Structure 1
Amino acid sequence: MPPPLLSRTLDPILGVFTGVLAYYLYETHPRNAIPEELRLASLLKRKYAIWQREREQKLLGSGEDNIDWQAIAASAEKEVDENLRK
């Protein structure tokens, strides 16, 4: 294994920083002319919005799984009242 250039911890951090900086410069350089809708930030925003929408739909469900808690509470109170009267 080759010896570290700076340290075992700093070398990976420097590598990630260099990669992120290089990608940012690639996206923003005028010669590349990447459209705004194809840049990484806008793609991530769109993906996050889709994920949020799907998660909200999953949490809300299709409406069939909705539970009428008031009806359950009323029936429970009715059962308790009947049991107390006995």
Structure 2
Amino acid sequence: MPPPLLSRTLDPVLGVFTGVFAYYLYETHPRTALSEELRLTSLLWWKREKWQRERERKLQATEEVVDWQAITASVEAESDKSPKK
């Protein structure tokens, strides 16, 4: 294993920072000229909205109608039938 350049913890941080900074420069450089819908932030927002729509659809599909009044009435009826000490 080669020796660390700066330190064992600073080298990975420096690598991640360099990668993020390079991607930022790639997205904002006029020569590459990415359109707004192809930038990472808009793609992340699109993916998040898609995930939220899918989650809402799943929650609505599994949502059951619960008659809470009937449940409370049955609990009260059971408590009335049980002998009191």
TM-score (norm 1): 0.83
For residue 33 of structure 2, give the secondary structure of its aligned residue in structure 1: coil
Alignment gaps of 5+ in structure 1: none
For residue 61 of structure 1, give the secondary structure of its aligned residue in structure 2: helix
Count of residues paired in the alignment: 84
- The residue aligned with 1:79 is 78
Partners of 1:43 and 1:77 lie apart in 2 by: 53
- The residue aligned with 1:10 is 10
| Aligned residue type for 2:2 | P
Partners of 1:68 and 1:61 lie apart in 2 by: 18
CA drift at 1:60: 3.4
| Aligned residue type for 2:10 | L
For residue 32 of structure 2, give the secondary structure of its aligned residue in structure 1: coil
Distance 1:58 1:69, change over 3 A: same
Alignment gaps of 5+ in structure 2: none
Partners of 1:78 and 1:32 lie apart in 2 by: 73
TM-score (norm 2): 0.84
Runs of 4+ in 1 over 4 A off after TM superposition: none
CA drift at 1:62: 4.5
- The residue aligned with 2:52 is 52
Aligned residues with identical type, % of pairs? 69
CA drift at 1:69: 2.1
CA drift at 1:22: 0.3
- C-alpha root-mean-square deviation of aligned residues, in Å? 1.9
